[in-house]
Amino acid sequence: MSPSLWTAARSLLPPEAAHRAAIAWLSHPALVPPQTLKDDPITLWGITFKNRIGMAAGFDKNGEAVAGLARLGFGHIEVGTITPLPQPGNARPRVFRLPEDQAIINRYGFNSAGAEAAYRNLSALSPDVRRSVVLGVNIGKNKDTQDAAVDYRHGLKRFHDIADYITINISSPNTPNLRDLQRAEPLRRLLSECRETLAGLSPSPPLLLKIAPDLDALALNDLLDQVIATRIDGLIISNTTLARPQTLKNPHAKETGGLSGKPLMGPSTDILKQASENLKERGLTLPLIGVGGIGSAEDVQAKIGAGACLIQAYTAFALGGFGIMRSW
Ligand SMILES: Cc1cc2nc3c(=O)[nH]c(=O)nc-3n(C[C@H](O)[C@H](O)[C@H](O)COP(=O)(O)O)c2cc1C
């Protein structure tokens, strides 16, 4: 299917059905016309990214569409969030388009085929696909797990030999109490346990942390203390927001869940800039991945100006198709 035909078909379907159809399409790379993005290589953690543009987590939750996404020209693809055991996520409907606001609200709640199924999908990728794109694996916890560290350690052990980097996601707003793991003491414990697990594994990929945009300066500073103490290799800033700006027009604005897209651009860039400046004041640099609300080349430049070395996007592709990134 051509990308423009896909764009037209997509808007006729309810959002979750459109999401499933996109995954089905991209899991057949022969149906995906190759797209070439501007060459803009950058090396981080000894890994060369052919460009700065990545597919954000949450689109390809189970690693089914990597080959198709690679054909679209992404420099990196972050699959997940993957939980150790399969789980269904929240009741439907759980994704809402807010077209007037260029936004989405979702409360998927980590619907996941589980680590074994995702690992099988990723293992089946051809060496050519694996060489053409950097693969990030974003890991989470099952809803009913009491000790979160057990699930994150499980994810590290399962994916360390297949991922180019691994992201610890503690910033989804749709898993009860998950964001509490961003507080200093639980975070220190979680990250040190993950660090210890990775130290016993070979290969031991870079470990990234994905954070929420809804942190005040003090909470961010405390979080950075723990990130530095546990030698986290990079931050992904940010996940969706619980905030509901007054400017939202679509009636779905009242839905529970995480808001993404244009209204998130300002807040997520602000916290990215705060993190970058905080680290600079400490005399430290850490690779930062900017995500939230990117929809144009200017937005990409704004994230880079705020301290990002890579960027990711999701909502702009869901609303406008993958062709939009050709001008980034
Ligand atoms: C429908 C949907 C599902 C998402 N699921 C996840 C997820 O499973 N894990 C995760 O780390 N982020 C998830 N995200 C957040 C995105 O990765 C990204 O951080 C956020 O949407 C901001 O970027 P955007 O404005 O370009 O969409 C999801 C976003 C959307 C719209």
Please report which confidence band the pLDDT of residue 113 belongs to, taking 50, 70 and 90 as the band edges: very high
User: With pLDDT > 70 as the criterion, what percentage of the chain qualifies?
Assistant: 97
**pLDDT class of 5 with cuts at 50, 70, 90:** low
From the list 36, 19, 209, the residue with the least C-alpha distance to 95 is 19
The single-letter DSSP state of residue 252 is: G
pLDDT, mean of residues 228-242 = 97
Residues 6+ apart with CB under 8 A from 209: 167, 168, 170, 191, 227, 232, 234, 235, 236
Residue linked to tokens 């709640």: 109
Q: How far apart are CA 125 and CA 114, in angstroms?
A: 18
pLDDT tens digits, residue range 62-80?
999 999 999 999 999 999 9
Q: What is the pLDDT of residue 140?
A: 97
Ligand 1 close to Cβ of residue 210 (< 6 A): yes
CA of 278 to the centre of ligand 1 (A): 25
Task: Check pocket membership of 264 for ligand 1, CB cut-off 6 A.
Answer: yes
pTM: 0.97
pLDDT value for 217: 94
pLDDT of residue 3: 54
CA distance 135 to 139: 13
Q: What is the pLDDT of residue 181?
A: 82
Q: What is the pLDDT of residue 6?
A: 61
Ligand 1 centre and the CA of 200: distance in Å? 31
- The mean per-residue pLDDT over the stretch 239-248 comes to 96
Note the pLDDT of residue 283: 96
pLDDT of residue 30: 94
> At 269, is the secondary structure helix, strand, or coil?
helix
User: Residue 167 CA: which ligand 1 atom is closest?
Assistant: 11
Question: Is the distance from the beta carbon of residue 313 to the nearest atom of ligand 1 less than 6 Å?
Answer: yes
Among 51-60, 182-191, 198-207, 213-222, the range scoring the smallest mean pLDDT is 182-191
What are phi and psi for residue 9, nearest 5 degrees?
Answer: -65, -35
What atom of ligand 1 comes closest to residue 110's alpha carbon? Answer: 8
Tokens (6 digits) for 116: 């074994």
Q: Which of 27, 112, 171, 172 is catalytic?
A: 172
Q: How many angstroms separate the alpha carbon of residue 137 from the centre of ligand 1?
A: 14
Mean pLDDT throughout 46-50?
Answer: 97
Is 172 part of the annotated catalytic residue set? yes
Give distance in angstroms: CA of 183 to centre of ligand 1.
21
pLDDT value of position 185: 87
Q: Name the average pLDDT for the chain.
A: 95
Distance 283 CA to ligand 1 centre (A): 31
| Residue 313 alpha carbon, nearest atom of ligand 1 | 26
User: Do 117 and 84 form a contact (C-beta atoms < 8 A)?
Assistant: no
What are the structural domains, with CATH classification, of the chain? 3-327 (3.20.20.70)
Instruction: Write out pLDDT tens, residues 144-191.
Output: 999 999 999 999 999 999 999 999 999 888 888 888 887 888 999 999
Tell me if 106 CB under 6 Å of ligand 1.
Answer: yes
Of 74, 260, 303, the residue with max ligand 1 atoms within 8 A of its CB, to mutate for a pocket test, comes to 260
Percentage of residues in the chain having pLDDT higher than 90: 90
